[in-house]
Structure 1
Amino acid sequence: MSRPSIRDIGARDWLIVALILTLMAGVLLWAGRSPICTCGYVALWHGALDSGNSQHIADWYTPSHIIHGFLFYALGWLVLRARAPGERLIFAVIIEAAWEVLENSPIIIDRYREATIALGYTGDSVINSVFDVAWMALGFAFARRAPIRVTVGLAIAFELLTLWAIRDNLTLNVVMLVSPIEAIRLWQQGG
């Protein structure tokens, strides 16, 4: 059996990713997050913008996490170019896992409620957070293999799709979280 090349993401890297996800899930459970949707079941897709949002495996915010993977791949390529792809993936997973923990803290949950259209947002279930990181890793893997123009095109398509479907996307989410604009909030609410 041949050893993995420095250009591969090896079993050791995936083991570290799994350990990071396990640690993140443990922290979220310790912080009181629900392991699954309080509705009592886990759905592969939850398309409604209601209390089940951010509670299942995938929802309308999943494309944002895939785009995170695109962006973290680009960041790793720019900043950690001399490092192996597996190390860059671990770097991306650490960032995304840290965001999931922060996103489910009272300060960010309250910020979402006050500044975005997520008025009833109560945070993510642990399974949703774990899959959010997994979706990011999928985006990272896609960006690593796909031509840049395809990755950028897919990111734009995801942004336009979610803008059309739910009047929200990664760009608007960041804008409204960092510096809310009343006109955007009114438009997102259907006004």
Structure 2
Amino acid sequence: MSRAAVLAFPQTTFGRPRWSPDADVRFWVAALLSVAVLACWLGLLGRPLAPPSGLRLWSGDLARGNSQQLSDGYSLLHLSFGALIAALMRRYNPRLGGGRLALTVVLSAVVWEAVENLPPVITLFSAPAGAASYHGDSIVNSLGDVVFAGAGFVLARQLSWRGIVALLVGIELACALLIGDGLLWGSLRLAGLA
């Protein structure tokens, strides 16, 4: 097999399984239940429902509103997370239908949000030099992040592989400019390499 064949990405779109109302309902119920479990989990961890200063759709202030409002600069990373999970699942499990793939993205985002708000992880994210002030997410912000991951899935579903790569690179650059952070930069910082 030639090297070009190994590196080539397929230009196909996601498979469209036969429509089944029962399957669609099960996937939606499972996704909604997982989001409800996340909200309860965050409440048990003592995360606030919304910021005490009042809820806004967007916060550009990382010093005070980081991960408290419905969306912020880090919401873009959740958009790329959803697109990346969808792209990886498409690559390695191309027979996975749209409903199952969407549920995989939602469950992945829910698990990430549940882990991200554990006290040791909050400490880990706020410890590196240059990291934004992070004290955990509000419940509204976590639910918004799950929605952004779902939007990333919807975007990835419409794009070719090249389009997905362009989207991920664009989001990384936008995050670097907007918030001085990103998936790559944050990973390097956590590893002590930046």
- 1:10 matched to 2:24? The reply is yes
Which residue of the partner structure matches residue 180 of structure 1?
A: 192
Secondary structure at 1:115 match in 2? coil
The offset of 1:51, in angstroms, is: 2.3
- 1:98 matched to 2:111? The reply is yes
CA change 1:134–1:7 in 2 (3 A) is farther
Gaps of 5+ in 1: 185-191
Which residue of the partner structure matches residue 114 of structure 1?
A: 127
TM-score between both structures, scaled by the size of structure 1: 0.84
Distance 1:149 1:75 in 2: 13
Distance 1:128 1:43 in 2: 10
Gaps of 5+ in 2: 1-15
In percent, how many aligned pairs have the same letter?
A: 30
Which residue of the partner structure matches residue 68 of structure 1?
A: 81
Which residue of the partner structure matches residue 11 of structure 2?
A: none
Distance 2:18 2:151 in 1: 17
Give the aligned CA root-mean-square deviation in angstroms: 1.8
Correspondences of 1:1-191 after superposition (within 5 Å): 6=17, 10-39=24-53, 41-115=54-128, 117-118=130-131, 120-177=133-190, 179-181=191-193, 184=194
Q: What residue identity is the alignment partner of 2:58?
A: W
TM-score between both structures, scaled by the size of structure 2: 0.83
Contact 2:87 2:164 in 1 (8 A): no
Deviations 1:46-96 (A, max 9, x none): 011112110111111111100001110012113332222211221221121
CA change 1:46–1:14 in 2 (3 A) is same
CA change 1:6–1:112 in 2 (3 A) is same
CA change 1:101–1:115 in 2 (3 A) is same
Deviations 1:22-53 (A, max 9, x none): 111111111111111132x1111101111211
Deviates more, 1:41-50 or 1:158-167: 158-167
Secondary structure at 2:127 match in 1? helix
Contact 1:116 1:173 in 2 (8 A): no
Contact 1:51 1:121 in 2 (8 A): no
Contact 1:37 1:55 in 2 (8 A): yes
